[in-house]
Amino acid sequence: MAEINPSIFRAYDIRGVYPKDLNSKNASKIALAFVKQYPLAKTIVVSHDTRESSPILAKAINRALALAGKKVMFLGTAPDPLFYFSIFYYGFDAGIMISGSHNPKEYNGLTLHIRKSGKKEKGDVILKDLERIRDLTSKSLDVSPKAGGKITSFDPLEDYLNYVTKKIKLTKPLKIVVDSGNGAMGYLPEKVFKKLGCSVKTLYGDFDPSFPHHLPDPYVRKNRLAAKREVLKGKFDLGFVYDGDGDRVAAIDNKGRSANGDFCLLMLARQALAKHKGPIVHDMRVSKAFLKEMKKKGVKTYFSVSHHTAIIKKIKKVRAVFGGEVTLHFLFPKDYFLCDEALFASLKLAEIASQQKDFALYINSLPRYPISPELFIPCADEKKFKIIKKLQEFLRKEKYDFIDIDGSRINFPHGWALIRAANTTPFIKCRFEADGQKHLIEIEKKSLEILKKVGIPVTKKTRQELELN
């Protein structure tokens, strides 16, 4: 019997190409290994995104769980907001979300979630626990039917609508564009915002695994263009663009401009700090402008590994009042369940917009420094972390000032550079920021020289892509 490709088990989830790496057979084995690792999990939520392979994987997983005697609460096609809400609100034991998130359409993936025995605390299965599940899949698993297994169709929609809308207070109703990108968010945002009295137009709300209009990845500029055009055409107050499983959201202001991740992070942090006192957790890509304002306010800030699960872990450890990533993940430990929920994040951003006479003018007032888009350098999964380790060794030897929590954030006199391995794709990612355009070019040049010295393959094509973005 062929073993599962171990490289699909990442640090925080499972990702692979369908059906080469992740198929019905492998998904069944992973589901059986999951319940063997957590035998006290009796009731398990299962949902999936709109990818063509997702219902196929869900069917295999549901059967495996029922065979193992588990009660499956099956949501069908449903985004992360409904998936996590079902686990937290109803107190179910575990969950499996089937989604390729923002990866290309040939990919799919699994996020495993568990409530640990004897604890109210819940969390995604990560790192060593995922490694244990990976190791279990290579062993002979018990496939004899157990009593009590059952698959039940479950719909948390009404409870979700009532719960989240009670937590949001808009100063005035807004006119909003929603782009779901034919992903699992569908018309859910429209239903929530309409319940709050907003006027809503949804683009690409129908589920379509071919993603005919654009990939559901709001972090990529071209995937926000349709929402931008619609905001300007219809004179909307605000636009939101969601990813395929609903854990990331991009905001568009009333002038049709993207409110980038740094701006959203700062606006939401300000909002949280107006109500709660405590530290803030952020990823490695955060702007110096954000850090400078937090320091001025006397707010303690913490760097974290760039993944929402790592952010959550850090939030718990330091008792933070807010956490987030520049890549459009945001977390609200004082206002909502501690999970990665893009719809709740967009509701909080709508609260902020509703309080402004002109949302675009408010964004214009936010502090900023010249910053590059992310540079993506192709690098095989089996090599990227080794290269980052080599980079860190080089920087220590040469006595550079850098932070090594996730890759290397190198501090220069007039800015910084971040070089890190992507968690879910075969790339090394870089970002640069400086206090002026001249210094930004200098930092970029120095950083690319360092990359070449440690064997990171920066090509002419890669550099041109950076300059054109």
Task: For the chain of 469 residues, list the mean pLDDT of each consecutive stretch of 10.
Answer: 82 93 96 95 98 98 97 98 97 96 91 72 80 92 89 98 98 98 97 98 97 93 96 98 96 97 97 98 97 98 93 96 96 95 97 97 97 88 92 97 97 97 87 96 94 80 46
Question: What pLDDT is attached to residue 423?
Answer: 82
Per-residue tokens: 45: 């939520």
With vertex at residue 367, the alpha carbon angle to CA 313 and CA 343, rounded to the nearest 5 degrees, is 45
Three-state DSSP class for residue 124: strand
The span from the CA of 22 to the CA of 37, in Å, is: 20
Residue ranges in 48-154 assigned as alpha helix (H) = 54-67, 80-90, 127-137
Question: What pLDDT is attached to residue 1?
Answer: 43
- Would strands 107-115 and 199-203 be described as parallel, antiparallel, or unpaired? unpaired
* One-letter amino acid for residue 381 of the chain: D
Q: Which of 54, 101, 354, 408 is catalytic?
A: 101
Query: Cβ-count burial of 376 within 10 angstroms (0-12 exposed, 13-18 middle, 19+ buried)?
Result: middle
Per-residue tokens: 205: 């709300």
pTM of the model: 0.94
391-399's contacts with Cβ under 8 Å and 24+ in sequence apart are: 391/419, 391/450, 391/451, 391/454, 391/456, 394/450, 394/453, 394/454, 395/450
Domains and CATH numbers, the chain: 6-155 (3.40.120.10), 159-256 (3.40.120.10), 259-341 (3.40.120.10), 375-468 (3.30.310.50)
Say whether 138 is catalytic: no
User: CB atoms < 10 A from the CB of 224, how many?
Assistant: 23
Question: What pLDDT is attached to residue 120?
Answer: 47
Question: What pLDDT is attached to residue 118?
Answer: 45
Q: Which helix (H) or strand (E) holds 2?
A: none
Query: Cβ-count burial of 76 within 10 angstroms (0-12 exposed, 13-18 middle, 19+ buried)?
Result: middle
Query: Of 349, 303, 340, 156, which is closest to residue 332 (Cα–Cα)?
Result: 340
Report whether 91 contacts 43 (CB < 8 A).
no
Question: What pLDDT is attached to residue 467?
Answer: 42
- Provide the residue count of the chain: 469
DSSP state string for 169-231: --SS--EEEEE-TTSTTTTHHHHHHHHTT-EEEEES-S--TT-SS--S-TTSGGGGHHHHHHH
